């Protein structure tokens, strides 16, 4: 069992920045590829970014590439998402997720999910 807890969400003006964190329980964080997903009201859960177990490989949705940066600190059992140049369309609940294996864009293959943190970008 892996427990994930997101934090760092909030209200920000368009063009601003936020840094999300995802704290993982246990000693096996480094065995898991990690991903960030987001879901707006009435919308499906969409891929945002993913990272490999050691952090050497990253992947981003086209909508956030160049603005968001995913990273991890395995010594701290923590995943991060640095979000810059935020846009109103970034407004959503952001979830972190974990899976054994390589990072993917498919939310259905991730084993564990956090509770989500709300990000609201004002226009």
Whole-angstrom distance, CA of residue 116 vs CA of residue 6: 6
- Reported as a single tens digit per residue, the pLDDT across 11-38 is 999 999 999 999 999 778 999 999 999 9
Contact between 60 and 44 under an 8 Å Cβ cutoff? The reply is no
Res. 90: pLDDT tops 80? yes
Res. 96: pLDDT tops 90? yes
Look at the chain and count its residues. 123
Strand arrangement of the beta sheet that strand 18-24 belongs to: 4-7, 18-24, 78-83, 68-73
Res. 1: pLDDT tops 90? no
Strand pairing report for 10-13 and 117-122: parallel
pLDDT value at position 9?
97
pLDDT value at position 39?
98
- Reported as a single tens digit per residue, the pLDDT across 47-83 is 999 999 999 999 999 999 999 999 999 999 999 999 9
pLDDT value at position 26?
76
């Amino acid at each position: 069992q892996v427990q994930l807890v997101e934090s760092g969400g909030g209200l920000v003006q368009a063009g601003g920045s936020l840094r999300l964190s995802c704290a993982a329980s246990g000693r096996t964080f480094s065995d898991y590829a990690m991903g960030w997903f987001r879901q707006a009201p009435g919308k499906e859960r969409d891929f945002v970014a993913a990272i490999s177990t050691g952090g050497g490989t990253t992947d981003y949705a086209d909508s956030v590439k160049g603005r968001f940066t995913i990273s991890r600190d395995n010594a701290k059992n923590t995943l991060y998402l640095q979000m810059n140049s935020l846009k109103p369309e970034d407004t959503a609940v952001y979830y972190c997720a974990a899976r054994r294996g390589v990072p993917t864009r498919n939310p259905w293959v991730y084993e564990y999910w956090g509770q989500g943190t709300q990000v609201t970008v004002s226009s």
